[in-house]
């Protein structure tokens, strides 16, 4: 009979960023365990707070189904002697399967006659299996960081204090570390720390609510979202929405209570991002804006306790933020006493990376790289780009960024504005760090784009050049993110940038720092970036073999690669791709390296090869012109009519003729046709 399975793990406060993934992993693991154990189950419901991860699985079958097992043994001649008596091998196999030797069956296989056992394995009760499954599940929940406590040989995100494990309302007995499973959960750490007995999902949520815990994360998030909107309205403003902070705060509290605090209006003269960052990053405060979107001197904090006098909590938070903003105001005024450019000299004393030198050296490298890009792609902004690159890291030496590292770039922008720098330079100082996350905002202007590309490619080439290459589990310099950022900026701005040429330029500036052969580094970096583009394109829904065919044909300019794959995808939608790919794959396979001679029309004996040559002569120049213009849709559509003539050629002509001149002439014709599409896609990579 099916019944509910309920598991709760009670802990010390788990970091907010760990909780959503942990509860998702719990659901994944319980599905896998039950499916592996052949136990049928129904809907799964999860609960998560900083102090508990819980899961309820409905309609868990009471027993595994019986299973018929067929076990193959040794060959008949090995299992039985000439008289038909079981050998030691045969008897041993039977014994191992728990049957008599007389029950062994002989079956015919491709390899001859073998012995086999057919038996029925009775399904085990779920109550027997769960004490094995649940401890294994708990131990397999992955965390970015985990810890040990006491002298126990177990690891978890934080020390565990209780485990509730129930099936059909009854305790599933097992041990994990120094804990024994039971039916006792606990309420809010401060307002209701006592134990409370639960029977499962039916009463768990209700009893948690009674003990000041909203266990359902979605419900808790909705309550916070509604509460902060009302809190902002209470002071005549509206919420400055922050989805990331809302998500984080949801997993910081169990019993959310929004409270509104204030700070002095004089602090509003500080940059908007500074105010938001200092409140968000350090205190997890939401900010409030007026009808024009300007910040108001108020903040909203989410308390995890219901104080007798909420104003006591508010005043405590106001003291904290006042001290923070007072420090910020001090740094804001002090930093302006020294011009931003003057701080460039101080970067000579800042080590970027031991083998790659100082931050000053890095700035000088990518300043040159960025300026060269600007001269190549948009000469009108070359001077602005050089200036932005020169100033881009100067704010690292300001007191404000030292105190608030997350404001790097932002403070450089603000200080440069005050000093009268060109607005495009100021914006570029901030935007050269973009994007800072997958799918994040990209630079809005060419100046910032050039500096961003240069900074990132210098980091990638430099790290690869001294052996700091990302592994599957470690990427301390965020080189994957940098490579994806470079590609996204190039694609977003439509830059015709050659990745290999860009890498060559960066490595030339780094050559005195490299500890690996420059050609080896070049190959590794280009392939590293190519793989990032491959993953980006497949992530957009393009088929793996289609992407592979395009990038294998030519990986030089990402913008060009995008145009080629879009053209192939369009052709595929029209239903003409598969036969075209099959034909051109055949062409590519037969010519191997190709025969680079001029086709002699006098040697074209068969009608099919004369027809092919005639059609090729008509479309060749058109295809080449379309390719040169980057119009790959037209190029491919022009190539399409060739397919039927190529097929007819293969049907009517012996390519590898005995006559060497005939053979080479035919291979030369096929080679000329292959050259039409070889830079568009490598059709040998297309799956059949």
| 291-310: pLDDT as tens digits | 999 999 999 999 999 988 99
Position 241 scores a pLDDT of 94
Give the whole-angstrom CA distance, residue 426 versus residue 419. 10
Position 198 scores a pLDDT of 96
% of the chain at pLDDT higher than 70 = 100
Beta bridge mates, 287: 299
> Phi and psi at residue 578, in whole multiples of 5°?
-60, -50
**Residue 4 in tokens:** 């509910």
Beta bridge mates, 351: 358
pLDDT confidence tier of residue 290, bands split at 50, 70 and 90: very high
CB count in 10 Å sphere of residue 490 = 21
pLDDT, one tens digit per residue, over 540-587 is 999 898 899 899 888 889 999 999 999 888 888 877 777 878 888 888
Give the whole-angstrom CA distance, residue 442 versus residue 88. 73
89-94: average pLDDT:
87
Q: Indicate the Cα dihedral angle 325, 330, 332, 334, nearest 10°.
A: -170
Distance, C-alpha 11 to centroid of its chain:
29
Q: Where are the alpha helices (DSSP H) in 594-657?
A: 607-628, 632-639, 642-652
Beta bridge mates, 47: 54
Lowest-confidence segment of 30-39, 61-70, 395-404 by average pLDDT: 61-70
pLDDT, one tens digit per residue, over 642-677 is 888 888 888 888 888 888 888 888 888 888 888 888
Position 111 scores a pLDDT of 82
Is pLDDT at 688 greater than 70 in this prediction? no
Q: Which of 76, 12, 68, 4 is nearest to 38 (CA)?
A: 68
Give the whole-angstrom CA distance, residue 434 versus residue 444. 10
Is pLDDT at 593 greater than 80 in this prediction? no
Arithmetic mean of pLDDT over the chain = 92
Tell me which range, 139-143, 279-283, 578-582, is most confidently predicted by mean pLDDT: 139-143
446 close to 493: Cβ distance less than 8 angstroms: yes
The residue that leads in pLDDT, 169 or 680, is 169
pLDDT, one tens digit per residue, over 111-127 is 888 888 887 778 899 99
pLDDT confidence tier of residue 360, bands split at 50, 70 and 90: very high
pLDDT, one tens digit per residue, over 443-493 is 999 999 999 999 999 999 999 999 999 987 788 899 999 999 999 999 999
**Residue 439 in tokens:** 């799918």
**Termini Cα distance of the chain:** 49
Position 409 scores a pLDDT of 95
Beta bridge mates, 301: 259
306-326: average pLDDT:
93
Q: How far is CA 254 from CA 52, 218, 244, 516, in A?
A: 10, 12, 18, 53
Is pLDDT at 687 greater than 80 in this prediction? no
Burial string for 289-312 (b: 16+ CB within 10 Å, else e) reads beeeeebbbbbbbbbbbeeeeeee
């Amino acid at each position: 009979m099916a019944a509910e399975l309920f598991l709760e793990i009670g802990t010390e406060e788990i970091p907010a960023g760990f909780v959503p993934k942990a509860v998702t992993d719990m659901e994944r693991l319980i599905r896998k365990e039950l499916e592996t154990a052949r136990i049928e189950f129904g809907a799964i419901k999860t609960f998560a707070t900083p102090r508990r991860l819980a899961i309820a699985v409905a309609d868990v079958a009471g027993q595994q189904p019986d299973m018929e097992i067929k076990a193959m043994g040794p060959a008949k001649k090995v299992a039985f002697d000439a008289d038909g008596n079981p050998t030691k091998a045969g008897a041993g196999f039977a014994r191992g399967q728990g049957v008599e030797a007389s029950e062994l069956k002989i079956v015919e296989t491709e390899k001859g006659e073998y012995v086999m056992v057919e038996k029925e394995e009775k399904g085990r009760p779920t109550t027997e299996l769960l004490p094995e499954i649940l401890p294994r599940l708990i131990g397999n929940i992955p965390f970015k960081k985990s810890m040990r406590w006491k002298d126990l040989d177990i690891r978890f995100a934080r020390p565990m204090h209780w485990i509730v494990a129930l099936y059909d309302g009854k305790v599933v007995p097992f041990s994990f570390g120094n804990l024994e499973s039971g039916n006792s959960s606990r309420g809010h750490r401060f307002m209701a720390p006592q134990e409370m007995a639960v029977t499962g999902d039916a009463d768990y949520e209700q009893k948690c609510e009674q003990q000041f815990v909203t266990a359902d994360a979605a419900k808790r998030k909705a309550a916070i979202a509604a509460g902060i909107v009302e809190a902002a309205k209470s002071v005549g403003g509206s919420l400055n929405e922050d989805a990331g902070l809302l998500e984080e705060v949801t997993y910081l509290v169990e019993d959310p209570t929004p409270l509104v605090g204030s700070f002095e209006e004089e602090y509003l003269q500080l940059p908007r991002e500074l105010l938001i960052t200092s409140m968000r990053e350090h205190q997890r405060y939401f900010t409030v804006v007026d009808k024009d979107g300007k910040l108001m001197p108020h903040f909203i904090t989410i308390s995890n306790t219901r104080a007798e006098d909420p104003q006591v909590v508010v005043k405590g938070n106001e003291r904290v933020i006042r001290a923070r903003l007072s420090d910020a105001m001090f740094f804001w005024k002090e930093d302006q006493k020294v011009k931003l450019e003057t701080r460039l000299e101080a970067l000579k004393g800042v080590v970027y990376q031991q083998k790659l030198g100082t931050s000053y050296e890095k700035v000088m490298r990518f300043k040159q790289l960025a300026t060269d890009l600007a001269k190549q792609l948009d000469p009108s902004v070359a001077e602005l780009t050089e200036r932005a690159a020169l100033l881009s890291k100067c704010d690292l030496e300001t007191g404000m960024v030292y105190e608030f590292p997350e404001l790097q770039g932002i403070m450089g922008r603000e200080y440069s504005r005050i000093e009268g720098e060109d607005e495009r330079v100021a914006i570029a100082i901030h935007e050269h760090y973009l994007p800072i996350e997958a799918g994040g905002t990209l630079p809005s202007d060419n100046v910032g784009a050039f500096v961003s590309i240069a900074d990132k490619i210098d980091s990638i080439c430099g790290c690869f050049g001294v052996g700091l290459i990302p592994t599957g589990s470690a990427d301390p310099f965020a080189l994957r993110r940098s490579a994806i950022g470079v590609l996204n900026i190039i694609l977003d701005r439509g830059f015709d940038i050659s990745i290999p040429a860009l890498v060559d330029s960066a490595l030339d500036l780094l050559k005195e720092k490299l500890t690996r052969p420059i050609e080896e580094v070049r190959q590794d970096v280009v392939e590293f970036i190519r793989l990032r583009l491959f993953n980006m394109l497949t992530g957009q829904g393009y088929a793996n073999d289609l992407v592979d065919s395009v990038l294998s044909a030519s990986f030089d300019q990402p913008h060009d690669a995008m145009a080629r794959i879009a053209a192939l995808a369009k052709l595929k939608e029209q239903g003409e791709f598969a036969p075209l790919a099959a034909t051109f794959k055949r062409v590519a396979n037969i010519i191997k390296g190709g025969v680079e001679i001029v086709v002699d029309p006098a040697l074209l004996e068969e009608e099919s090869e004369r027809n092919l040559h005639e059609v090729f002569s008509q479309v060749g120049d058109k295809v080449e012109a379309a390719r040169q213009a980057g119009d790959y849709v037209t190029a491919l559509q022009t190539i399409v009519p060739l397919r039927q003539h190529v097929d007819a050629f293969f049907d009517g002509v012996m390519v590898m003729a005995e006559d060497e001149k005939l053979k080479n002439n035919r291979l030369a014709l096929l080679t000329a046709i292959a050259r039409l599409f070889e830079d568009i896609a490598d059709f040998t990579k297309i799956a059949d």
